Chains A and B, each alone.
Chain A
Amino acid sequence: MAIIERPAPTVPAIVTPTSTYGLLKRPVSTTGWRSWVFTVDHKKLGIMYAATAMFFFIVGGVEALLIRLQLAAPNGKVLNADLYNQMFTMHATTMVFLFVMPMAAGFANYFVPLQIGARDVAFPRLNAFGFWAFLFGGIFLNLAWFLGGAADGGWFMYAPNSGPVFSPSHGVDFWALGLQITGIASLTGAINLIITVLNMRAPGMTLMKMPIFTWMITVVQFLLLFAVPVITVALFLLSFQRNFGAQFFDVAAGADPLLWQHLFWIFGHPEVYILILPSFGIVSEVLPVFSRKPLFGYPFVVFSGAAIGFVGWGVWAHHMFASGLGPVSVAVFSLTTMAIAVPTGVKIINWTLTMWGGKLWFTTAMKFAIGLIVLFTVGGLSGVTHAVAPSDTQQTDTYYIVAHFHYVLFGGAVLGIFSGFYYWWPKVFGKMLNEKIGSWNFWLMVIGLNMTFGPMHILGLQGQPRRMYQWTEARAGEGFFNLAFWNLVASIGSFILSVGILMFLINVVVTARNPKKAPLDPWNARSLEWMTSNPPKEHNFDVIPTVHHLDEFFHQKFEEDEATHTMKQVRTAEEIMAEQERNADKHIHMPSPSYWPIVLAFGLPIITFGLIYSHLISVVGGVIVLFAAYGWALESSTAPDSDFETNTPGTGLDKVGANHD
């Protein structure tokens, strides 16, 4: 927030609000919990997104472990059938909507403005609102556990199984309304990041000079922008059916249950690219840095990413090959699905050729990135076998499908996210994660995930169905391919995997206790986010950089030697940093903190809670939303110049802060 006066950038800036907005004066705290709860700083929000997502990752992980415990031996007794249904439904919902998506949002929030040389996002308050809506939506979703049972229809919640007859608890209501709230978060986040990328790039940064991570995030935000409203429609139809007696999926009234499947997968297939493309972006940053080479075929990586985003809209019905679509639809969607493998393959080739002939540096971040290439390819290949409709008909609803999407999501998306943790940790927290523990982290995770998900290929092809809560000795079969052995292997693997993830948490604690600071440019990195301090100042850059090259930071450090045509270092990161500090901009007004984002977001779960229990409660929520909307509209994003007080610390600050408890 606030003004930054040279030459003392670390002194907290002081704002004395002169007028009220709605009912409340602006929050002014720069320290303590208030500085987080009311913040609009994209870096703080990025950390909050990631930390919350990590929490839900653990929740979803515990759910997964319970599932594997149940299936480890015949006649599992850990969960009953009903609880098992809730467990796999919430495991998938949590991992998709409350872990991978917000984790990507966290990375995007933190690094997109830094990578494009901006001081903040286009809509800082909307950004804060998005985070709070996600958090409250996630809590709302999980409230159902304590209020009569969670959703139990699978993460795609097929009709008519999702109707009140087959799912009488409030679980599905919480699920539909909770996802509606996180959907609002995704939509506002998408609008914010798209406009940030379109409108806030540093001078000289054309679209084709943007870092590849920012490019992939942009594609993802467009997918979100257009895919979220589709699931919104589907969820509304479901809620109206369950809560207001509409008939959309009531087969007795002549409804077509495929309506839900179509709407869900029109959203759902772009959604899988929403999950994977951020990780593609991360490894496309990591691989060049640790190969000491520029990314091979940057334009191809950009356009294949955009092509995936576009073609991703024309493949949804391959999730429905077994539903009786008719031969024409099946043939068309089979072909488009095979087609989408092409741009994905282009990316794999580009990454491989980036490493080819490079001086590889096997840091933990690099290991995770290479892990992604290998394991995502495995998942991609089994994906192509689903594109062949006759083969898919055999695989539908078996563990083979479970194996496939865990290879692309865990082997792909999650490994990419961990690569990002190790690569960017020094940037965010100013300390390097421990490489030794990191190595354990990586190898345990890779061994664990292959042991968990590899056997599922066999289980699936042997005919073990998904969502089956028990298997019996009598039907396990004999010989090498018997279900008993491979189920046990998968369950043991899941615990090794958990230990691997535990290593990461241990690493975080060990690193936090280690007083050693990270160097300014520990990896000899290439893009703009490294051209500032660790962690970055509140205003990101002392001077807004002017961009001349793709990989601008690298080109500031290195120049081509005329004689030998090799790159030689001409400046260090420290020198560049020092020069920026000498020329620092004066009077940087950053967007000011606000109460309204969290208040507005808080109204949403109250409205949805009321829709389930009593419409009176909804009215209260509606009033909160309206109240916050007025406060929001009447408050300008950045405090007026007259509110900025320079060099007179203390006055009025305590008093104003105390008024708002």
Chain B
Amino acid sequence: MTDVAHDHASSTGISNVKLGMWAFLGSECLLFGGLISTYMLYRGRVSGGPRPSQIFDIPFTSVSSFVLLMSSLTMVLAVSAAHKEDDRKTNLWLTVTALLGATFVGGQVYEFTAFYKEGLGFSTSLFGSSFYTLTGFHGVHVTVGIIMLMSLVGILKRSSVPGKKAEVVEMIGLYWHFVDIVWIIIFTLVYLIPV
């Protein structure tokens, strides 16, 4: 922290919003850390309900993980286009990102339904409670991201966004990538590493 701002007369010269977003993401690390730790502690406690290895469909989840990973690429392309002030491409990539995100959430809804039919409810076991809480929180984050992306597309079309357009796109991009890296961790720790 001490190496900041010594060279600058008044401040760091960077955007408040961007600093704020990174501070928020730092804070989110402890939120998801807590949820992931709770899951790790409880993943083996199934109370007679299904075990993780019995219900996880690794090929299916791999595909939806891949979709979310690629949405990070389309997001970064949207940011890149926004910096070049190419509105058409910005809108295009934002929309694609939102669609990929929606595909992921759709996959999650399908997955939850399938698990529920196989006997894993929210109250079935500690595994069930902690699994649905962790992945549900992530899903809510993705959904909020989709809403922001779609709103941004609408706002950009009317070009009534206050402040710098490219920065707004970049901020939502940071949030989106964060949601993606959380899933990178969940995919490995929850799905790929068996109990």
Residues of A bordering B, CB below 8 Å: 122-123, 187, 190-192, 194-195, 198-204, 206-208, 225-230, 232-234, 236-237, 240-241, 244-248, 253-256, 259, 263, 544, 630, 633-637
Which residues on B sit within 8 Å (CB–CB) of A207? 1-2, 4-5
Q: Is the CB of B123 within 8 A of A246?
A: yes
Are the C-beta atoms of B10 and A201 separated by less than 8 Å? yes
* B34-A199 in contact (CB<8A): no
11 A-B pairs with C-beta separation under 8 A:
A198-B19, A202-B10, A208-B2, A233-B35, A246-B129, A247-B47, A248-B126, A254-B125, A255-B42, A634-B155, A637-B162
Kindly list chain A residues whose C-beta atoms are within 8 Å of the C-beta of B35: 233
B38 close to A253 (CB less than 8 A): no
Flag the segment in B20-28, B63-71, B78-86 that touches A.
B20-28
Residue of chain B at shortest CB distance from A227: B30
Choose from B9, B28, B126 the contact partner of A255 (Cβ within 8 Å): B126
Across the A-B interface, the 9 shortest Cβ-Cβ residue pairs: A233-B34, A636-B162, A229-B31, A246-B129, A245-B123, A229-B30, A122-B16, A203-B9, A203-B10
A197 to chain B, nearest CB (A): 10
List B contacts of A233 (CB < 8 A): 31, 34-35, 38
Task: Report Cα–Cα, A200/B20, bound state, in Å.
Answer: 13
Report which of B26, B128, B151 forms a contact with A630, defined as CB distance below 8 A.
B151
CA distance A208 to B161 in the complex (A): 38
Structural contact, B129 and A198, CB atoms closer than 8 A: no
Which residues from A are CB-within-8-Å of B177?
none
Across-interface contacts of B117 in A (CB, < 8 A): none
Q: Is B133 an interface residue (CB 8 A)?
A: yes
- Residues on the B chain within 8 Å of A228, using CB: 27
Given A225-B23, A233-B31, A633-B155, A248:B160 Cβ within 8 A: no
Which residue of chain A lies nearest to B31 when distances are taken between CB atoms in the complex? A229
Q: A195-B20, A233-B31 are in contact. List 11 more A-B contacts (CB 8 A).
A: A122-B20, A123-B20, A198-B4, A199-B16, A206-B6, A240-B129, A247-B123, A255-B126, A634-B161, A636-B162, A637-B162
The answer to whether residues A201 and B11 also contact, given A228-B27, A253-B45 and a CB cut-off of 8 A, is yes
Kindly report which residue of chain A lies nearest to residue B16, judged by CB atoms: A122
B1 / chain A contacts, CB cutoff of 8 Å: 207
Interface status of B14 (Cβ within 8 A of chain A): yes
Contacts of A256 in B (CB 8 A): 41
Closest CB in chain B relative to A551 CB, distance in Å: 19
Which of B2, B26, B47, B133 sits near A246, CB closer than 8 Å? B133
Within 8 A of A (CB), among B110-155: 122-123, 125-126, 128-130, 133, 137, 151, 155
Min CB–CB distance B102 → chain A (angstroms): 18
The complex places the Cα of A208 from the Cα of B4 at a distance, in Å, of 11
Given A122-B16, A206-B6, is A200 in contact with B126 using a C-beta cutoff of 8 Å? no
| Chain A residues in 8 Å Cβ range of B160 | 634
Q: Which of A190, A198, A232, A244 contacts B122 (CB 8 A)?
A: A244
The smallest C-beta distance from A479 to any residue of chain B, in angstroms, reads 49
**Closest chain B residue to A636, Cβ basis:** B162
Distance to closest chain A CB from B32 (angstroms) = 8
Instruction: Assess whether A232 is in contact with B31, with CB atoms less than 8 Å apart.
Output: yes
Contact B122 A229 (CB under 8 A): no
Residue of B nearest to A634 (CB): B160
B12 interface hit (Cβ, 8 Å): yes
Q: Which residues of B contact A (CB under 8 A)?
A: 1-2, 4-6, 9-12, 14, 16, 19-20, 23-24, 26-28, 30-31, 34-35, 38, 41-42, 45, 47, 122-123, 125-126, 128-130, 133, 137, 151, 155, 160-163
Question: If A226-B30, A253-B45, A253-B125 touch, does A206 touch B5 (CB 8 Å cutoff)?
Answer: yes
Residue of B nearest to A232 (CB): B31
Pair A226/B27 contact, Cβ less than 8 Å: yes
Residues of B within 8 A of A635 (CB): 162
What are the residues of chain B within 8 A of A198 when measuring CB–CB? 4-5, 11-12, 19
Across-interface contacts of B6 in A (CB, < 8 A): 206
Q: A225 and B16: CB pair below 8 A? A: no
Q: Closest CB of chain B to A130's CB: distance in Å?
A: 13
CB neighbours (8 Å) of B19 from chain A are: 122, 194-195, 198-199
Q: Which residues of A lie under 8 Å from residue B12 when comparing CB positions?
A: 198-199
Q: What residues of chain A lie closer than 8 Å to B133, measured between beta carbons?
A: 236-237, 240, 246
- Which of the residues A234, A245, A253 comes within 8 Å of B34, measured between beta carbons? A234
> When chains A and B are docked, how far (Å) is the Cα of A407 from the Cα of B20?
36
Q: Which residue of B lies closest to A637 (CB)?
A: B162
Contact call B10/A247, Cβ cutoff below 8 A = no
Kindly state the separation between the CA atoms of A633 and B17 in the bound complex, as whole angstroms: 13
Of B35, B125, B129, most buried by chain A (CB within 10 Å of CB) is B129
Assembly CA distance A138 to B27 (angstroms) = 23
Cβ A195 vs Cβ B38 within 8 A: no
Which B-chain residue is minimally distant from A126 (CB atoms)?
A: B20
Q: Which residues does chain B contribute within 8 Å of A194, judged by CB atoms?
A: 19, 23
> What residues of A have a CB within 8 angstroms of the CB of B126 in the complex?
247-248, 253-255
Once the chains bind, are B5 and A187 in contact (CB under 8 Å)? Answer: no
Across the interface, which residues of A come within 8 angstroms of B122, CB to CB? Answer: 244-246
A188→B160 CA distance, assembly (Å): 25
Smallest distance from the beta carbon of B81 to chain A beta carbons, Å?
A: 21
Asked whether B34 lies within 8 Å of A229 as measured between CB atoms, the reply is yes
B4 — which chain A residues lie within 8 A by C-beta? 198, 207
Q: How far is the CA of A240 from the CA of B26 in the complex (A)?
A: 25
Nearest-neighbour CB distance to chain A for B148, whole angstroms, equals 9
- Determine if B38 and A225 form an interchain contact, defined as CB atoms under 8 angstroms apart: no
Bound complex: CA of A123 vs CA of B126, how far in Å? 41
Point out the residues of chain B lying under 8 angstroms from A259, CB to CB: 38, 41
| CB–CB B38/A229 < 8 A | no
Question: Is A633's CB under 8 angstroms from B125's CB?
Answer: no
Interchain CB contact under 8 A, A191 and B125 = no
CB pair A636–B163 under 8 Å, yes or no, is: yes
A226 to B27, CA, bound (A): 5
Contact A229 B23 (CB under 8 A): no
B155 near A230: Cβ-Cβ < 8 Å? no
Given A232-B31, A237-B133, is A204 in contact with B9 using a C-beta cutoff of 8 Å?
yes
Chain A residues, Cβ within 8 Å of B45: 253-255
Check if B41 sits within 8 Å of A191, measured CB to CB: no
In the assembled complex, the Cα of A246 lies from the Cα of B123 at a distance in Å of: 5
Q: How far is the CA of A208 from the CA of B31 in the complex (A)?
A: 31
CA distance A123 to B5 in the complex (A): 19
Instruction: Report yes or no: B5 in contact with A230, Cβ–Cβ below 8 A.
Output: no
